[in-house]
Amino acid sequence: MHTARTAPAAFQPIAPDRVHRWGGARLIVARRADLLRAPLLSPAEQRVVRSLPAWRRAEWEAGRLLAKRLVGELVAAPAQEVEILPRDDGSPCAVVGGSPVPGVHLSLSHTVRHVAAALAPEPVGVDLCETSSAATVRRVADHALSARELALIGTDRPDALAGAWALKEAAVKADRSGIFGPAARRVEILGLRPPLLGGARRAMLWRAGDAALALVLAHRAAPAREHCVGAPSPAG
């Protein structure tokens, strides 16, 4: 049986703009101000970005820039040949040569200042939460955090609150679900240093500038068929 662990004062910093490997996953985080170029977008990606509100387009493109880099390095393809398209449930899907890349799971996250992308052979979730968002997390904590988790984390530690929220968000992303719903309550935080989650999940926390960065890997059977919006279906 796991025992609760106390919240940390801070998380280990992670270097920006380089590929990190953890638990079989590849992860990259960057300051948005350092991403000076937009990714080359395919016609399908252009259709997606045109459907977004104007304020969402820059952050959407920033996430795809990092994701294309990760996928391109994995499959030895130029980044401009990689497409990152949404699945029917909105989660990102890697496409090369018009077909989804088999055995690749992606996750993206962004804040006002940072963007992150993660890739793994198993379901993966990545999330950024700024410590300045701690007050907001306190107001909505009951939606995702149990009384036991709040007692473990404490509500007077902005870094701990940001880390806990990032862990929950990353975990439900790995499950391809959402934070505001029953899914978040099914993921139990058992510790923050090191991060420990209930179930068949592995997790890690870092500090990216003023944000907590969480990575969660989940063991789950892959769906029989994957369909990315804008890409040919497996059936043709």
Residue from 128, 75, 64, 134 nearest 101 by CA: 75
pLDDT digits over 193-204, tens only? Answer: 899 999 999 999
Distances (CA, A) of 202 to 35, 147, 195: 30, 22, 8
User: Could you check whether 21-120 and 124-218 share the same CATH topology?
Assistant: yes
pLDDT digits over 42-84, tens only? Answer: 999 999 999 999 999 999 999 999 999 999 999 999 888 999 9
**For the chain, which residues make up each domain, given as ranges?**
21-120, 124-218
* CA 113 to chain CA centroid, nearest Å: 15
Residue 223: pLDDT above 60? no
Fold of 124-218: Ribosomal Protein L22; Chain A (3.90.470)
Considering the entire predicted model, what is its pTM?
0.88
Domain 21-120 has CATH 3.30.70.920: no
Distances (CA, A) of 147 to 97, 132, 170, 201: 48, 22, 20, 21
